[in-house]
Amino acid sequence: MSEQGNSTLKTLRRLWPYVRPVRARLAVVFAATITAMLCGITIPLVTQRIIDGPITSKETDRLPLLIAGVLVLGIGEALLFYIRRKLVARPAAEVEARMRADMYHHLQRLPVSFHDRWQSGQLLSRATNDLVTVRRWVAFGVVFIVVNSLVVVIGMTILAVLSPRLFLVALACAAPLIVISYLFETRFKVVARRAQDQAGDLTTTVEESVLGIRVLKAFGRGPELAKKFAAQARELRGTELSKVRILASLWAVLIALPELSIAGQLAVGSVSIAQSTMTVGTLVAAVTVSAYLRWPIDSIGWLLAETNQTASAVERYWEVLDEPVTITSPETPKSLPDKVTGHVRFEGVRFSFGDGRDVLRGVDLDIRPGETVALVGATGSGKTTLTALVPRLADVSGGRVTIDGVDVRDLSLDDLRRVVGTAFEEPVLFSASVTENVALGAPDAGEERVREALRVAKAEEFVEALPWALDTRIGEQGLSLSGGQRQRLALARAVVGRPAVLVLDDPLSALDVHTEAEVEAALRRVLRDVTALVVAHRPSTVQLADRVAMLVDGRIAAVGTHRNLLEHNEEYRRLLSTMDEELIEEEVAS
């Protein structure tokens, strides 16, 4: 077997854990299919008995019984194929469903850094198109690869018993299939993989265009994206046409070879009958068997195409499943105290994205229980990265982050994320009801808890004005709401679980002046009861904090109150001047 073939089999063997639970039902499918094919290939042998028996001897007593036998075999073949098709659908669908569920579960567990690297369209195509290919192969491909191979072997054996000469003719025409199959396999798999990758790129472009439709329309970039889409579509079409050309060449040979075999058998058989060394029934049976083998032989092209395409799909699937889950709960997690105070410490924290470049270089910061610390710094200084370390959306490269003296890496993820609430700068909402979106922060929260969280985030009034209030379904990404409304729902989601620690990444960025003042007032109330780390891009956000930590080049350069830093730290004044020069002047004057 070729190295390429070994690679294909090795890849397909990885499907076994998913096939194992349905192997009994698939075995019944195999048995029904092979029995159906045997019924079909037995009919030529009965035909031989009819021709060489009652017809030749003109004794028709046994003719009705033989004809009835042909009828029974034909009905049996049709019935067994019906059973096969009916039985195979469910186990094949179960394999697809389990693979899709495992992939989805694995995607949820993979670190954020993985999703930063991978295009969502590539992941989507693996979870949909590729798994449809796998299901089709489990339902049809693997069954007929095995069954058709057995039928070809059985058919060739029957030919050898009927007439060694006719068998040699058939074998001479079948031998080139080995070379053709090798050439086909090596070429088709490369092209099939390229087509699947290009389909993923095309899916990404469509997804980004749909999600960013407002931006495209606002800047008039629709035609530009349409050109990009058209170029990718042309590339995919070219690759698909390459697949068709390879298949066309193969099918031409596969169709020609059986015809050549039948022609050769007729020639050799006719001469043998003329020389009285072969009966007419033998020739008819041999030609009929060869004709019956035509579909199993012709299907080699389709089966090889499906097998190689499935191998590429499985390979792409495992590219995702083989990604290591680097952020997991420890085997023996520690417990937090019964009364969590929310004392957060960063001790010598370093972080690198794996490229050898440290984003954080020894951060030390102590956030006392119930204290709110604003984190400020220039763009790219590592503020968002630092906040991601508290709920373990990323893990430190060195040092540690603790809550009440316990390293967050020693806590189970469920416990950690139950005591840490998070709201991001980009408020992400889902195509679900208001209640479902807010309750993501606390799955066991009832309606009263949800309403309380909405009141804290100053979102209750606009939610009640929605057509179905809490039951109103929010459109995809929440784009049917204003930026401020989305931000307030994200805030409600962060506080609904009554966390001991709040991590807020610029929570006021999408609010207008009036709404900002309302949410600030609400946040002041909520921040009195929790420990909070707030990324601030506005002076108004800084004023919510008890203390301010300034991050410069991956280190904490200064810590103090807003007023103290404003009076004594020139770099802090310069940083805030880029936020709001007028507010700084008022602060200095006062």
* Measured distance CA(232)–CA(363) in Å, rounded: 45
For residue 535, what are the β-bridge partners? Answer: 375, 505
Residues whose CB is less than 8 angstroms from the CB of residue 153 and which lie 6 or more positions away in sequence, other chains included: none
Report the domain count for the chain: 2
Same domain, 88 and 206: yes
For residue 366, what are the β-bridge partners? Answer: 345
Q: What are the backbone angles phi and psi of residue 340, rounded to the nearest 5°?
A: -80, 120
In a domain, 339, yes or no: no
In a domain, 81, yes or no: yes
For residue 421, what are the β-bridge partners? Answer: 502
List the one residue out of 229, 221, 208, 110 whose CA is nearest residue 477. 208
In a domain, 121, yes or no: yes
SS3 per residue for 297-349: HHHHHHHHHHHHHHHHHHHHHHHHHCCCCCCCCCCCCECCCCCCCCCEEEEEE
Is the overall model pTM greater than 0.85, yes or no?
Answer: no
pLDDT tens column, 477-521: 666 677 777 878 888 888 888 888 988 887 666 566 666 676 677
Cβ(551)–Cβ(391) under 8 Å? Answer: no
Q: 553: left (phi > 0), else alpha (psi -120 to 50), else beta?
A: left
In a domain, 338, yes or no: no
In a domain, 327, yes or no: no
Q: What is the pLDDT of residue 318?
A: 92
Same domain, 61 and 184: yes
Same domain, 397 and 309: no
Q: At what angle do helices 294-321 and 3-12 cross, to 10 degrees?
A: 70
Q: What is the pLDDT of residue 509?
A: 63
Same domain, 356 and 285: no
Q: What is the pLDDT of residue 255?
A: 74
For the sheet containing 420-423, what is the strand order? 420-423, 501-505, 531-535, 372-377, 547-552, 555-560
Cβ(502)–Cβ(532) under 8 Å? Answer: yes
Q: What is the pLDDT of residue 98?
A: 94
Domain residues for the domain of 81 are 3-321
Query: How is residue 424 annotated by DSSP?
Result: -
Q: Of 321, 354, 371, which residue is a domain's last?
A: 321
Same domain, 585 and 461: yes
CATH number of the domain enclosing 511: 3.40.50.300
Cβ(316)–Cβ(99) under 8 Å? Answer: no
CATH number of the domain enclosing 105: 1.20.1560.10
Q: Of 288, 321, 354, which residue is a domain's last?
A: 321
Per-residue pLDDT of the chain (590 residues; tens, 9 = 90+): 455 556 778 888 889 999 999 999 999 998 998 898 888 888 888 888 888 777 777 777 778 888 888 899 889 888 988 888 888 889 999 999 999 999 999 988 888 878 878 877 788 888 888 899 899 999 888 888 888 888 888 888 888 888 888 888 888 777 776 667 666 766 776 787 788 788 877 777 776 676 666 566 555 666 777 787 788 888 888 888 887 887 777 777 777 777 787 888 888 888 888 888 888 888 888 888 888 887 787 777 678 778 888 888 899 899 899 988 888 888 899 888 888 888 999 999 998 876 667 888 889 999 999 888 989 888 778 888 898 899 888 888 899 999 998 999 999 988 888 888 888 777 777 777 888 888 877 777 777 888 888 887 778 888 888 888 888 887 666 666 777 778 788 888 888 888 889 888 876 665 666 666 766 776 776 677 788 898 887 777 787 788 999 988 888 888 888 888 888 888 888 887 776 554 444 444 44
Beta-strand pair 531-535/501-505: parallel
Q: What is the pLDDT of residue 590?
A: 44
Same domain, 371 and 309: no
Q: Of 267, 290, 321, which residue is a domain's last?
A: 321
Same domain, 353 and 494: yes
Same domain, 308 and 429: no
Q: What is the dihedral of CA 505, 506, 507, 508, to 10 degrees?
A: 180
In a domain, 194, yes or no: yes
Same domain, 290 and 353: no
Q: What is the pLDDT of residue 214?
A: 58
In a domain, 73, yes or no: yes
Q: What is the pLDDT of residue 491?
A: 83
Same domain, 480 and 555: yes
Same domain, 436 and 567: yes
Q: What is the pLDDT of residue 344?
A: 92
Cβ neighbours of 99 (radius 10 Å): 23
In a domain, 525, yes or no: yes
Same domain, 269 and 381: no
Q: What is the pLDDT of residue 528?
A: 73
* Measured distance CA(558)–CA(567) in Å, rounded: 13
